[in-house]
């Protein structure tokens, strides 16, 4: 069950970075949604290595193919199987990985858990696994937009200590896509790009924060207790490679306020119940309240660096390892479509769950 996410709008991803390919089966998509590869490819291109000078140079076209679930341009209500072939396999570039555990990667834990691992390019732990999520997320985004009027965005909010000013209530996709770091604050973006370039040259890496936003979510999605909307978002985000933290609305900063300061007062506005502030982040008691949902995800700096580091080999002897070949100085620009995809998958699932029980 580890490779399945969602209950009613449910995906199962498969594939290693080396092998036949990577893919996803999406089960539960409603019928009669117009869908073709053209709806999915743009997000895969945003996720793709080699898209700009500040991300890993791995070159693969990552061309998606829909194998089932679509007929005459519309979804059938049956499973949608999508896959991307693996192309850029250079096992020789990774050969040292066969015998040494990369620090702060999952090589050691996989080997210990399964007694066996595909060391090529990280195998299943490769960021390549997220191709299936992004592909299914594109379908979820389309369904949310067309059937429910919901929009999902993400953007880079912070790289190391460079923080951007962005209004999540009004930010547009065109602003996010206006630069290669996917930060809608142009001035901050320029600084971020310079820093990442510097890191690339130094063979080092940086992390930061991606902010996710959902606008137009109606009141009532989400469930009390365990499947709270924010709990499912937290799980979704912490399931992304390299993520280390999640907070929603006022989040960790909300601690600085007292209850009196923190509460969001209700007021009627345009015939609707609205809150005059939004420290709740659009969710109260696990259920959307009609305000914009916004949250942050912390990503650590990429573990592969072009420097000698202490480690242990597969014979459990001390040794050192220096990253070679391709180098990703910052995962954030490519994490943006991943955060959007996981957000959309959570919301699509809850949209259907709400319909099942409460309509």
Among 63, 112, 178, 324, binds a copy of itself (CB under 8 A): 112
Q: How far is the CB of 285 from a copy of itself (least distance, A)?
A: 2
Give the pair of three-digit tokens for residue 48: 């793709």
When the beta carbons of 158 and 175 are compared against a copy of itself, the nearer one is 158
Q: For 53-56, which contacts have Cβ atoms below 8 Å and span 24 or more sequence positions?
A: 53/180, 53/197, 53/200, 54/180, 54/181, 54/193, 54/196, 54/197, 54/200, 54/329, 54/330, 54/333, 55/328, 55/329, 55/330, 55/333, 55/334, 56/326, 56/327, 56/328
Q: Is 145 in the site for a copy of itself (CB under 8 A)?
A: no
Which residue matches tokens 């109260």?
284
Residues 82-101 binding a copy of itself (CB under 8 A) are: 83, 101
Q: Residues with Cβ < 8 Å from 282, sequence gap 6 or more?
A: 214, 217, 249, 288, 289, 290, 291, 292, 293, 294
Among 42, 67, 90, 91, binds a copy of itself (CB under 8 A): 67
Residues 280-309 binding a copy of itself (CB under 8 A) are: 280-281, 283-289, 298-305, 307, 309
Q: How far is the CB of 179 from a copy of itself (least distance, A)?
A: 20
Among 134, 149, 150, smallest CA distance to 84 is for 134
Among 88, 160, 197, 216, binds a copy of itself (CB under 8 A): 160
Among 50, 57, 103, 216, binds a copy of itself (CB under 8 A): 103
Euclidean distance between CA atoms 326 and 16, whole angstroms:
18
Q: Is 43 in the site for a copy of itself (CB under 8 A)?
A: no
Euclidean distance between CA atoms 76 and 60, whole angstroms:
30
Residues 194-253 binding a copy of itself (CB under 8 A) are: 199, 204-209, 219-220, 222-228, 230-239, 241, 244-252
Euclidean distance between CA atoms 66 and 77, whole angstroms:
14
* Contact stretch for a copy of itself (CB under 8 A) within 30-38, 47-55, 148-156, 185-193: 30-38
Q: Is 356 in the site for a copy of itself (CB under 8 A)?
A: yes
Give the pair of three-digit tokens for residue 46: 């945003």
Q: How far is the CB of 151 from a copy of itself (least distance, A)?
A: 21
CA quadruple 6, 157, 198, 173: dihedral, nearest 10? 80
Among 53, 59, 113, 201, binds a copy of itself (CB under 8 A): 113
Q: How far is the CB of 284 from a copy of itself (least distance, A)?
A: 5
Residue 284: CB atoms within 10 A of its CB come to 19
Q: How far is the CB of 276 from a copy of itself (least distance, A)?
A: 7
Give the pair of three-digit tokens for residue 166: 């962005």
Q: Is 73 in the site for a copy of itself (CB under 8 A)?
A: no
When the beta carbons of 177 and 303 are compared against a copy of itself, the nearer one is 303
Residue 335: CB atoms within 10 A of its CB come to 27
Q: How far is the CB of 84 from a copy of itself (least distance, A)?
A: 11
Among 54, 80, 97, 164, binds a copy of itself (CB under 8 A): 80
Euclidean distance between CA atoms 324 and 307, whole angstroms:
9
Q: How far is the CB of 172 from a copy of itself (least distance, A)?
A: 26
Q: How far is the CB of 347 from a copy of itself (least distance, A)?
A: 14
Residue 241 half-sphere exposure, CB side, CA atoms within 13 Å?
Answer: 21
Residues 172-191 binding a copy of itself (CB under 8 A) are: none
Please give the size of the binding site for a copy of itself, defined by CB under 8 A.
Answer: 151
Q: Is 105 in the site for a copy of itself (CB under 8 A)?
A: yes
Euclidean distance between CA atoms 323 and 64, whole angstroms:
30
């Amino acid at each position: 069950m580890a490779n399945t996410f969602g209950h009613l709008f449910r995906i199962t991803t498969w594939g290693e970075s080396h092998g036949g390919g990577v893919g996803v089966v999406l089960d539960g998509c409603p019928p009669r949604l117009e869908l073709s590869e053209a709806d999915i490819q743009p997000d895969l291109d945003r996720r793709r290595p080699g898209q700009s000078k500040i991300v890993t140079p791995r070159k693969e076209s990552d061309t998606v193919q829909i194998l089932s679930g679509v007929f005459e341009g519309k979804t059938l209500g049956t499973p949608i199987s999508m896959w991307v072939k693996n192309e850029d396999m250079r096992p020789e570039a990774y050969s040292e990985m066969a015998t040494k555990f990369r620090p702060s990667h999952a090589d050691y834990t996989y080997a210990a858990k399964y007694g066996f691992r595909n060391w090529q390019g990280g195998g299943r732990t490769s960021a390549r696994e997220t191709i299936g999520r992004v592909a299914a997320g594109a379908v979820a985004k389309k369904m949310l937009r067309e059937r429910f009027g919901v929009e999902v965005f993400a953007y880079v909010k912070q790289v190391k200590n460079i923080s951007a000013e962005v209004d999540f209530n009004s930010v547009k996709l065109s602003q996010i896509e206006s630069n290669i770091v996917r930060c809608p604050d142009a001035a901050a973006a320029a600084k971020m790009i310079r820093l990442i370039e510097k890191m690339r040259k130094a063979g080092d890496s940086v992390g930061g924060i991606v902010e996710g936003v959902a606008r137009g979510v109606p009141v009532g999605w989400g469930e009390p207790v365990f499947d709270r909307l924010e709990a499912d978002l937290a799980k979704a985000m912490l399931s992304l490679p390299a993520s280390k933290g999640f907070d929603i609305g006022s989040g960790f900063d909300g601690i600085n306020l007292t209850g009196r300061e923190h509460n969001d007062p209700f007021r009627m506005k345009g015939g609707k119940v609205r809150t005059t502030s939004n420290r709740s982040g659009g969710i109260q008691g696990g259920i959307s309240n009609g305000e914009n949902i916004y949250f942050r995800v912390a990503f650590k700096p990429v573990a592969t660096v072009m420097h000698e580091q202490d480690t242990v080999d597969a014979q459990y002897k001390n040794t050192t390892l220096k990253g070679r070949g391709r180098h990703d100085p910052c995962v954030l620009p490519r994490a943006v479509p991943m955060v959007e995809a996981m957000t959309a998958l959570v919301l699509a699932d809850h949209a259907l769950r709400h319909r099942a029980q409460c309509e």
